[in-house]
Amino acid sequence: MTISLERPQLDDLEKVLGAGISSLDISAEERAKVVARYNSLGQTLNEHWAESTAENRVYVQGSFALGTVTRRIHRNDDVDIDLVVVRGIQTSSTTQVALKADAGTGLRKFVAASHPKALLAESERCWTLEYPGMHMDVLPAVPDASSERGSDDGILITDHDVRSWLRSDPLGYANWFRDVARKEVMAKEAFLAERGVDVVDVPEWTRKTTLQLAVQALKRHRDIYFTGRLDHRPSSIIITTLAAHAYQLDQLGGNLFDVMRAIATNLVDHIEVINGQHVIANPVMPEENFADCWASEPWRASALFEWADAVSQDISGIAARSGNDNVLKGIRMVLGEHAALAGARALSYPHVEARRSGILRAQNGLGTLTVTGPASSTRPVKDHTFHGGRM
């Protein structure tokens, strides 16, 4: 078997990127564990509030709801799951303190009855259930019945330092994010239907859009880039919002690399400056500025712009490289070593496995690789893990 290391075609690049980004996602087993835990939590809280006729809800928000969860890369990074617990009562029948305390009581019942046991900790706005390698932030809330709410799913949340209830709308944001890529989703569903595949039979989380994949790639590059200064990382909500705006403007569709490059190149173009302050507005609640803390912590803005320039260069540089090995090194700079190996396997599984097992050999005097051939005319090829990128 002879494999030439030539400049990869677009199909190869798409295959490598797709496999590499897919490796960043949590496993099906981890996903099932999350779903089982929040379903169990919802059942416990319903029993806790059984005497009330109010309608209560527990749902995911953040990256899990958006389909942009990325596997941890740093030792202290957990799989981070954000849950909302909506108590179906009005603010007139409770207080922020009472709602928070009551949710905590219900969570203690959940911890006592669940296996394995989680550690329960309290923060300013939420409660946190800590498991090995995973933590779940549980945000208590009540419905927002006011006309100022972002959507019909708007909620009011608690905060230690704010006397008034704070508005939020995680379901509205998730719907906005999905709507941005709806044209691409419809095209993918039509493609499956043409081939006789019932879309209902394909789990939604396995049918990623290029926007979702691009956000995962951006978040992984961010985590690699800020190694050693993790507290300087731009927040996921800011990256996700800017990426969605850039995608919405470009509307490139199905070419994953071009979408990634266009988003990275135009990322900061969607940051406004109003009265000298950076503004990244919540698209469903424009009065909320995701960058409001930049005014008092200007280093956050500097970190975002610095990283945005780096990720644009690194993603654009992938296609500028010649040879599969060099392309894989570029992908390692953006997505990390594990993703580069996953991409290499997708490109040429026998080639990669042969290299790792020590049976891949180079033809003496030629630019080709082989897993067969006499030792007299070939030489062994050393294994590598695509080191050499930014870390």
Q: Verify that 239 and 110 share a domain, yes or no.
A: no
What is the band of 321 on the pLDDT scale with cuts at 50, 70, 90?
low
Residue at a domain's end among 157, 175, 193: 175
Q: Verify that 365 and 329 share a domain, yes or no.
A: yes
Q: Verify that 170 and 34 share a domain, yes or no.
A: yes
Instruction: Count Cβ atoms within 10 A of the Cβ of residue 310 and give its class: 0-12 exposed, 13-18 middle, 19 or more buried.
Output: middle
Q: Verify that 140 and 161 share a domain, yes or no.
A: yes
Q: Is residue 385 part of a domain?
A: no
Q: Verify that 19 and 35 share a domain, yes or no.
A: no
Q: What is the pLDDT of residue 368?
A: 41
Record the tokens describing residue 58, joined without a space. Answer: 């527990």
Q: Verify that 145 and 210 share a domain, yes or no.
A: no
What is the band of 369 on the pLDDT scale with cuts at 50, 70, 90?
very low
Q: Is residue 389 part of a domain?
A: no
What are the tens digits of pLDDT across the range 248-303?
865 555 588 999 999 999 999 999 999 999 999 999 999 999 999 999 999 999 99
Q: Is residue 387 part of a domain?
A: no
**pTM for the whole thing?**
0.81
Q: Verify that 273 and 337 share a domain, yes or no.
A: yes
The answer to whether 33 touches 352, Cβ cutoff 8 Å, is no
Q: Is residue 390 part of a domain?
A: no
For range 184-201, the mean pLDDT: 65
Asked whether residue 246 carries a pLDDT value surpassing 90, the answer given is: yes
Residue 90: give its domain's CATH number. Answer: 3.30.460.10
185: left (phi over 0), alpha (psi -120 to 50) or beta: alpha
The whole domain housing 66 covers 28-175
Asked whether residue 188 carries a pLDDT value surpassing 70, the answer given is: no
